[in-house]
Amino acid sequence: MQTCGGTDCLNDEPDKQEEVDKEMLHLLSEELKLQQTVSSEKQQHAELAFLDARRIASLYQKEAEKCNMASLYS
């Protein structure tokens, strides 16, 4: 009985090699889809955080303007 490691044994069985190749391609495709999903979710989170930061900055700006106006009339 001969033992072999890795895909060396598959070289003698082209059908099995093709099956392994198809499965590997499927797994890589699934991994890519997952990475794209994660990337999209991170992008959406970043955009929401940016909009929130702009909103807060605008509120601070308005409060600063109120304080400046009040100090002019004091």
Residue 11's H or E segment, with its range, is none
Average pLDDT, the chain: 89
Q: Among 39-43, 45-49, 68-72, where is mean pLDDT lowest?
A: 68-72
Calpha distance 48→56 (Å, rounded): 12
CA distances from 73 to 59, 62, 70 (A): 22, 17, 5
* DSSP conformation class of 16: H
CB under 8 Å to 23, separation ≥6 — which residues?
Answer: none
Q: How does residue 4 score in pLDDT terms, banded at 50, 70 and 90?
A: low
Say whether pTM exceeds 0.75. no
